[in-house]
């Protein structure tokens, strides 16, 4: 069990997954953070199911769970693993868990999870801004590409040595300097 006051933010961030275009956390990861068993967390949620609408909590399909299980490396079913696909909670669902799980640890952990979601959102925002700036630069200099290529070609022509005419190999027939007109003097 992880101590609530020393949970690194990056540890939490690594357990936030993108599923159905939503950032979510798996019930088993949340249970580990709260220091309870997954089945206890799920029972508390099922007793308060009206607090968890579809945009707060998702039931993973078997395909989503298999894909996620491959990604995070959990055990196979039938060998000590899960029998059912897990519940995943969005940021709002995690916040709602604090009203269902009322221990001091749950409150502390929820605060840290909310901070992790905020930090992740800031990081994504920074990446989007950076991508936008790069796109603007690309568009700005795209028209200059042809001009820059022409400049480099001109510079290369100036730098390169002029080509000397190739010397002919073999015998050549020279034109006589004077033409014979056929008349004698």
pLDDT score of 132: 76
Residues linked to residue 57 through DSSP beta bridges, in sequence order: 89
Report yes or no: 100 and 51 within 8 Å, Cβ to Cβ.
yes
Per-residue tokens: 14? 């690594």
Q: What is the CA radius of gyration of the chain?
A: 36
Residues linked to residue 17 through DSSP beta bridges, in sequence order: 24
Report yes or no: 33 and 113 within 8 Å, Cβ to Cβ.
yes
pLDDT score of 141: 67
Q: Per-residue pLDDT tens, the chain, 185 aa: give them.
A: 555 556 777 778 888 888 888 888 899 888 988 888 988 899 999 999 999 998 899 988 888 888 877 766 655 555 556 777 789 999 888 888 878 887 888 878 888 888 888 888 787 777 777 777 777 777 766 666 677 777 777 777 777 666 676 777 777 677 766 666 666 65
pLDDT score of 17: 87
DSSP letter (8 states) at residue 21? T
Report yes or no: 46 and 116 within 8 Å, Cβ to Cβ.
no
Q: How many CB atoms lie within 10 A of CB 65?
A: 20
Q: How many CB atoms lie within 10 A of CB 97?
A: 26
């Amino acid at each position: 069990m992880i101590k609530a006051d020393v949970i690194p933010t990056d540890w939490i961030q690594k357990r936030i997954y993108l599923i159905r275009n939503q950032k979510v956390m798996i019930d088993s990861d949340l249970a580990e953070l709260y220091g309870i068993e997954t089945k206890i967390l799920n029972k508390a949620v099922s007793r308060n199911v009206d607090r968890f609408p579809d945009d707060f909590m998702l039931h993973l399909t078997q395909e989503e769970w298999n894909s996620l299980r491959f990604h995070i490396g959990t055990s196979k079913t039938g060998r000590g693993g899960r029998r059912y696909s897990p519940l995943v909670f969005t940021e709002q669902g995690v916040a709602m868990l604090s009203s269902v799980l009322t221990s001091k640890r749950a409150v502390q952990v929820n605060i840290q999870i909310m901070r992790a979601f905020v930090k992740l959102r800031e990081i994504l925002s920074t990446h989007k801004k950076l991508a936008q700036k790069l796109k603007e630069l690309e568009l700005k200099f795209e028209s200059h590409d042809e001009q820059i290529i022409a400049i480099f070609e001109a510079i290369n022509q100036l730098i390169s040595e002029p080509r000397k005419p190739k010397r002919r190999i073999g015998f050549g027939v020279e034109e006589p300097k004077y033409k014979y007109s056929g008349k004698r003097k």
